[in-house]
Chain A
Amino acid sequence: MIEIKDIYKSFSGNDVLQGISGKFEEGVTNLIIGGSGSGKTTLLKCMVGLHQPDSGSVLYDGRDFTPMTYEQRIEVRKEIGMLFQGSALFDSMTVEENIMFPLNMFTDQSRKEKLERVDFCLERVNLAGKNKLFPAELSGGMKKRVGIARAISMNPKYLFCDEPNSGLDPKTSIVIDELIQEITEEYKTTTIVVTHDMNSVMGIGDYILFLHEGKKFWEGSNKEIAHTDIQELNDFVFASRFMKAAKDKF
């Protein structure tokens, strides 16, 4: 479980996060949603330590991450897997080398064991046999799946996904969402997905935290979201005519 308490973050006097708190349980897909500039990616970066919050704390199963030393953070980070918005695959390495990279760095497994793990991860994301391809040879959806395979290669306890559906067609987006949900349930990871994709919200949002202008406006599940009367949330979730019509029918 990951808990955030009263997170504040500002950049050059601009308050991006203003006292965000929340609890993200393991084995369920937790979503952080909000419009562009609402602070969701900044919150994610504060959680993983890419940004240092001005105040507040991030607890990984009770371990306060914010005041940790560099060496202590490394130990927590070994338990983290992250899928980046642009996949962030190392473009000088093949798919196999990308997935094997954390294994090479942090394990003493034999080459055979590592290759088996790579094959397992690739099979898990339905990319078996694509070991020798370079990132430049992959489609957007395939890159995301390799990103997931790399993220799960070390059996992470915590999985972070930054806009996993951005730039993907609706069908591929659903495949990625389902994959994230399956992995979360299968490995009991604490999964946090930052998104503004409404299909994801309705499809996999077990717990949703809605941010608006740097503040937490609402939290709940995808079942509850249709019944809320918070104006900002309704404006965001049901912005399109289609979603508005769906809500009216619901």
Chain B
Amino acid sequence: MNFTNFGRYILLLKSVFRRPEKLKIYLKEIAKQMDYVGVGSLGLIAIISTFIGAVMTLQIAFQLVSDFIPKTIIGSVNRDSSILELSPTISAIVLAGKIGSAISSEIGSMRVTEQIDALEIMGINAPGYLILPKIISGITMVPMLVIISMFLSITGGYIGGSISGAVTPAEYIQGITTDFNPYTITVALVKAFVFGFIITSVPAYEGFYVRGGALEVSQASTRAVVISCISILVCDYLVTQLLL
């Protein structure tokens, strides 16, 4: 995103946060988007998180082969990695692919078929009506998905460790309950909030300013996912640097 695009992105966000024409209709749209972003992504996040947790346990166990290191450390490392990094970031990148491309194509198709012009002509704030419900659903549902992801990733580690014998259930439980710092949850939720905003607003921007036809819509969709993923990683570093 160069400076011109960044400027246009900020101006678009300014229009997005204008006062809604009718709150009731916006609330209905927000509920619809929350269902799509949250409930619709639950299965995917559950599968990914459980397997990542399980694989993490096996890899930590493989790398920490020493008589001087207690096996309980496997649980601790898995817990902190899942909460601080894997659950927010991997979930966000997966959601950028799933939700980001859908948002970009939906808004892009509306642009090329003049549906956005039709909204404007009716006197409706098109950025507000189309993008605000998506951003609100992103910043509320992505943190919820991340909380579920944390829980499932740690559970996945337990299952993976138990099945493979890399760590006993008792050692794993002892590991995840020792020296737990609740602040890590706060850091993860701040990340999830920021990522939720990126996942919805960047693709919306790409879709909103599409010019052309089907080819341009698909190109915008690809661009939206790439820019979202890069933005997620940059923000991940910045938030981690600021909060830890």
A interface with B by C-beta (< 8 Å): 48-50, 70, 73-75, 77-78, 80, 82, 84-86, 88-91, 101-102, 104-106, 154, 160
Contact = CB atoms under 8 A, between A and B. Distances in A.
Contacts of A77: 120-123
A114 B114 CA distance: 25
Contacts of B25: 104-105
A90 B117 contact: no
Interface in B118-135: 118, 120-124
B113 A50 contact: no
Contact of A85 (B114, B120, B121, B124): B114
A138 to B, nearest CB: 14
Contacts of A154: 122
Contacts of B123: 73-75, 77-78, 80, 105-106
Contacts of A90: 110, 115, 118
Given A86-B113, A86-B114, A105 B21 contact: yes
Nearest to B120: A50
Contact of B124 (A48, A75, A105): A105
A88 B122 contact: no
Given A49-B120, A101-B122, A105-B25, 17 more contacts: A50-B117, A50-B120, A50-B121, A75-B123, A77-B122, A82-B121, A84-B117, A85-B114, A86-B114, A88-B117, A90-B118, A102-B124, A104-B25, A105-B21, A105-B123, A105-B124, A106-B123
B114 A88 contact: yes
A49 B120 CA distance: 9
Given A77-B122, A78-B123, A106 B117 contact: no
A72 to B, nearest CB: 11
10 contacts: A49-B120, A73-B123, A75-B123, A77-B120, A86-B114, A88-B114, A90-B118, A105-B124, A106-B22, A154-B122
Nearest to B115: A88
B58 to A, nearest CB: 44
B122 A48 contact: no
Nearest to B19: A71
Contacts of B114: 84-86, 88
B149 to A, nearest CB: 29
Q: Which 4 A-B pairs have the closest CB atoms?
A: A77-B123, A88-B114, A88-B118, A74-B123
B20 to A, nearest CB: 10
Nearest to B15: A70
A97 to B, nearest CB: 11
Contacts of A102: 122, 124
A105 B22 contact: yes
B134 to A, nearest CB: 14
A78 B25 CA distance: 17
Contact of B113 (A88, A101, A104): A88
A106 B21 contact: yes
B124 A84 contact: no
A18 B118 CA distance: 26
Contacts of A85: 114
B210 to A, nearest CB: 15
Contacts of B115: 88-91
A104 B118 contact: no
A74 B123 CA distance: 5
A64 B141 CA distance: 45
Contacts of A105: 21-22, 25, 122-124
Contacts of A104: 22, 25
- Among the interface residues B113, B115, B117, B118, which one has the most CB atoms of the partner chain A within 10 A? B118
A101 B28 CA distance: 13
Nearest to A74: B123
A50 B116 CA distance: 10
B192 to A, nearest CB: 28
Contact of A82 (B18, B21, B118, B124): B118
A102 B21 CA distance: 11
A163 to B, nearest CB: 11
